[in-house]
Amino acid sequence: MANPLNAFEKRKQALQSLKQLRRPNPDKQKTCPACQATIEKKKLMSTFYVCPHCGHYLTLGAKRRVRLTVDKDSFKELGGGIVSTDPLDFPEYQEKVRAAAEKTKIHEAVLTGVGRIDGIPAAVGVLDSRFLMGSMGVAVGDKIARLIEYADRRDLPLIIFSASGGARMQEGILSLMQMAKTAAAVEQFSENGGLFISVLTHPTTGGVTASFASLGDVILAEPGALIGFAGPRVIEQTLGEKLPEGFQSAEFMLEHGFLDAIVERKDLKKALSQLLKLHGYRSQAPSRSITNFLPGGKDRSKEQNFTDRTAARDADRSADADADADSAVSADASDDRFIAKQIDPEPDLK
């Protein structure tokens, strides 16, 4: 007589095998965190990683965001080898950074570089919330400040996508100093007549919100993005009041004048292109190197004539800009424990 326990075990194994087959294949499928629907990755790509069932905006990594925003094969990374040291000898900090780098395939929580948007050269920075919640430490602040300065020297428009939990606690006061550094760089860029478009994505909070992310000449956001400084529970406990419904949502911020517009992800590249064209930026011939931008010796004060600015922008680009792009990410590299250091960068993003 057959053992009933053996028959039960076989049945259990068969059911487990069927259950395993029903699970999403991480290489080909993704589960929406909002409605739990299983979506083919090919379908997600066609919807710009927005759930076709419930409209939830899925998290975008920095490299994927770049691919959706800039023209194909036009992106050149700057500062890819800049990483933070461990100034406070914070327990397990270096291990967490290495794990995040392996997961995201970038060395720090921000990806910076230059690329074209509908043919228009621009300096682009993208914070990656998968890398220690996109927190801003010394290296992140350094990369953003260098990107801003590079855009200023090359007369490029600046676009930064923010997605961050704020300052990186493992670096203490040094992480808070990045708020002042990045804000000062934006102020100098603005005084020289540069255009800064800040795009706030989910979530943008803490020291990033309180510094460069809120200083854009134009501030856009994705639908439903969480935008604020402290969390709503902390604010409620501090004020002793119940916060209004939807507080810190992009829609609430737009209604109260903090944003200029909310733009759906599928329309974002077109909106950025239109804004750049409205501000006088023009597309460049694809045959020209993305780093062949106007060299130094320019006057771009706010009182400068618009015609002179556009004529200068369209002037013959110098071939030495490639060398300048390399020096922009290596000039001040150091192994000092209290500042960012530079390691061998990864190949340019394709």
pLDDT of residue 54: 94
Question: Which domains, ranges and CATH numbers included, belong to the chain?
Answer: 27-58 (no CATH), 59-342 (3.90.226.10)
d(CA 232, CA 129): 20
DSSP 258-322: S-SEE--GGGHHHHHHHHHHHTT-----TTS-TT----S-----TTS-HHHHHHHHTSPPPTTHH
The residue with greater pLDDT, 289 or 212, is 212
d(CA 113, CA 347): 12
pLDDT tens for 294-319 read: 334 343 443 344 345 444 544 543 44
Q: Please provide residue 48's backbone torsions phi and psi, each rounded to the nearest 5 degrees.
A: 60, 40
Whether 348 has a pLDDT exceeding 60, the answer reads no
Whether 320 has a pLDDT exceeding 50, the answer reads no
Binning pLDDT at 50, 70 and 90, where does residue 13 land? confident
- The size of the chain, in residues, is 350
R_g of the chain, CA atoms, integer Å: 23
pLDDT of residue 269: 97
pLDDT of residue 68: 96
**Side chain identity, residue 16:** Q
Phi-psi region of 111 (alpha: psi -120 to 50; beta: other; left: phi over 0): beta
The residue with greater pLDDT, 284 or 271, is 271
pLDDT tens for 222-281 read: 999 999 999 888 899 999 999 998 899 999 999 999 999 999 999 999 999 999 999 999
- Report the 10 Å Cβ neighbour count for 156: 22
